């Protein structure tokens, strides 16, 4: 018998329920993946805020003690100035515009998780600025570093969101 004979054998077609089941399982996997990334995002934001708050408190305490006995000769790292100053309302306006263009995508868990993280980071940045200004105008390099770090993290998420909504 030659192989060509077998090419003429009958072909079986699977019932529609097979695709239906595959479709359902893919949907379920996608949902669990999105909610997992949302949980990780929230947890990371909370940890970041806690870390900043704790390190900031300890730094401020140290600086206050040193100022009483000596003077500070802090050298500002020029690398810190590399992040361009941006208008925060512009950033949120841009996100709003993107959301208007892609309302369905913007409402899903992933996009909402990113927006929440951006807001959390924004709040952390404001909180940091307020605390710094309340500490009798003591110049502190670590606060600047933290602020820059938060900004960087925020840009990353804005970039991610933009990419996601542009897809």
Contact positions vs other proteins (CB under 8 A): 1, 3, 5-6, 8-15, 17-19, 21-23, 25-26, 30
Please report how close the Cβ of residue 70 comes to other proteins at its closest, in angstroms. Answer: 58
Question: In terms of CB distance, is 15 or 84 closer to other proteins?
Answer: 15
Please report how close the Cβ of residue 114 comes to other proteins at its closest, in angstroms. Answer: 18
* Residue closest to 59 by CA, chosen among 142, 126, 132, 138: 142
Question: In terms of CB distance, is 19 or 40 closer to other proteins?
Answer: 19
Please report how close the Cβ of residue 11 comes to other proteins at its closest, in angstroms. Answer: 5
Task: Using alpha carbons, list the distances in angstroms from residue 47 to 39, 43, 54, 121.
Answer: 12, 6, 10, 11
Question: In terms of CB distance, is 5 or 69 closer to other proteins?
Answer: 5
């Amino acid at each position: 018998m030659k192989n060509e004979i077998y090419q003429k054998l009958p072909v079986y077609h699977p019932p529609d329920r097979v695709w239906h089941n595959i479709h359902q399982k893919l949907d379920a996997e996608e949902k669990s993946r999105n909610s997992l990334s949302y949980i990780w995002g929230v947890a990371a934001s909370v940890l970041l805020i806690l870390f900043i708050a704790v390190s900031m408190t300890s730094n401020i305490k140290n600086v206050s003690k040193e100022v009483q006995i000596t003077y500070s000769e802090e050298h500002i790292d020029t690398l810190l100035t590399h992040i361009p100053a941006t208008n925060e309302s512009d950033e949120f306006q841009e996100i709003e515009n993107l959301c208007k263009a892609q309302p369905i995508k913007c409402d899903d868990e992933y996009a909402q998780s990113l927006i929440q993280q951006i807001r959390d980071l924004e709040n952390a940045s404001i909180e940091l600025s307020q605390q710094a200004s309340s500490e009798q105008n003591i110049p502190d390099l670590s606060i600047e570093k933290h602020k820059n770090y938060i900004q960087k993290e925020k840009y990353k998420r804005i970039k991610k969101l933009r990419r996601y909504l542009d897809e």
